[in-house]
């Protein structure tokens, strides 16, 4: 008898494992379907876009895009909630969790993609794992040919995330800051917002789980961030171990992530991208942390920022939230 939900994905897809972790946390019965040569025709027939993850519901509805996918599921399976909007936390924490999830999906993917396809050992490792998972029947020369083809296809895509010799240092520094801040923040707590996973955990984890699986970034994490590595492993089978914490308990170690990464890097980059799309420009350049960053403009990122701003504008009470956003340099980017 088939499972009620079927999730097509790959282990090396951060958005696929993000949704899988969520399904596991919720206890939603599902089948994890590795998209490979045996089911690619079914996948292509059902997918509106050539992207994973793809989720088929019991009603035969097809969902794509991990963030709206999780939000749709959350309305169907509200408990245990991933939004820290109940006491002692509140609506400010819920928005900040969603903001960090957005940061992870849109900016946190850059270090993941960069490390994976910039360094030779990582290219070989990732290409071989993708080839083996996607074509389990292949071996010998056939497998080696697939590995080479994967590398030839993926390495040029570094430009899509803005990874270049010029931006390499900025991207790797961003990963280092995120890692060190989260390592400090996770001392004495199991998840980002306290004793149970929030929306932010799933977004951050999908990227960091994949970084940890690759040779270069994985070695850095193992050497420098043992608590973060424990959290990465914990999120494979997340569970509610306690309550969400109020912001005054989270702020000392979590506000640095908002200030140094979200307010200083992610939102200026996302806004510059949106401005380029609105102006019909194919690429854009923005100064981040005193360094030039350039890449091809992406329509999806612009739509995603618009959705984040709408989430902010729809909040009935921002009296607690706005001071946090103001002191972390995030507010102005969300109000315009």
Task: Please name each of the domains of the chain with its CATH number.
Answer: 5-76 (3.40.30.10), 91-112+163-335 (no CATH)
Report DSSP state, residue 329: T
Contacts of 300 (CB under 8 A, 6+ apart): none
What does the pLDDT look like over 215-248, one tens digit per residue?
Answer: 999 999 999 999 999 999 999 999 999 999 999 9
Whether the per-residue pLDDT at 86 is higher than 90: the answer is no
Report DSSP state, residue 314: T
Structure tokens at 76: 């169907």
Question: CB atoms < 10 A from the CB of 188, how many?
Answer: 7
Whether the per-residue pLDDT at 38 is higher than 60: the answer is yes
Segment 200-206 mean pLDDT: 98
Helix (H, G, I), strand (E, B) or coil at 284: strand
What does the pLDDT look like over 90-108, one tens digit per residue?
Answer: 689 999 999 999 999 999 9
Whether the per-residue pLDDT at 280 is higher than 80: the answer is yes
Which residue, among 245, 313, 258, has the nearest Cα to 90 in the 3D structure? 245
Structure tokens at 78: 């509200």
What is the residue-wise DSSP string for 222-243? HHH-HHHHHHHHHTTS----SP
> Kind of pairing, strands 5-9 and 30-34?
parallel
Asked if 56 and 273 count as a contact pair (C-beta separation under 8 A), the reply is no
What does the pLDDT look like over 293-320, one tens digit per residue?
Answer: 999 999 999 999 999 999 999 998 899 9
Q: Give the per-residue pLDDT at 229.
A: 98
């Amino acid at each position: 008898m088939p499972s009620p939900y079927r999730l097509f994905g790959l282990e090396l897809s951060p958005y696929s494992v993000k949704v899988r972790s969520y399904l596991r946390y919720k206890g939603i019965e599902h089948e994890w379907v590795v998209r490979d040569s045996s089911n690619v025709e079914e996948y292509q027939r059902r997918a509106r876009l050539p992207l994973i993850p793809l989720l088929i519901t019991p009603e035969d509805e097809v969902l794509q895009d991990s963030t709206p996918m999780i939000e749709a599921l959350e309305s169907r399976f509200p408990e245990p909630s991933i939004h820290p909007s109940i006491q002692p936390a509140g609506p400010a924490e819920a928005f900040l969790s969603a903001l960090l999830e957005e940061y992870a999906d849109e900016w946190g993917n850059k270090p993941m993609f960069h490390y994976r396809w910039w360094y030779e050992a990582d290219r070989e490792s990732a290409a071989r794992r993708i080839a083996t998972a996607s074509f389990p029947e292949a071996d010998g020369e056939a497998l080696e040919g697939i590995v080479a083809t994967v590398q030839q296809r993926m390495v040029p895509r570094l430009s899509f995330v803005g990874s270049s010799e010029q931006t390499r240092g900025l991207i790797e520094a961003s990963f280092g800051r995120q890692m060190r801040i989260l390592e400090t923040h996770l001392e004495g707590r199991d998840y980002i917002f306290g004793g149970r996973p929030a929306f932010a955990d799933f977004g951050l984890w999908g990227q960091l789980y994949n970084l940890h699986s690759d040779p270069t970034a994985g070695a850095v994490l193992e050497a420098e961030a043992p608590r973060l590595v424990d959290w990465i492993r914990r999120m494979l089978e997340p569970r509610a171990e306690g309550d969400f914490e109020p912001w005054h308990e989270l702020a000392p170690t979590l506000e640095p992530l908002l200030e140094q990464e979200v307010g200083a890097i992610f939102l200026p980059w996302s806004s510059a991208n949106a401005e380029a799309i609105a102006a019909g420009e194919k690429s854009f350049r923005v100064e981040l942390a005193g360094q030039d960053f350039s890449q091809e403009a992406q329509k999806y990122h612009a739509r995603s920022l618009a959705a984040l701003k709408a989430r902010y504008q729809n909040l009935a009470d921002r009296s607690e939230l706005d001071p946090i956003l103001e002191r972390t340099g995030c507010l102005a980017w969300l109000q315009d």
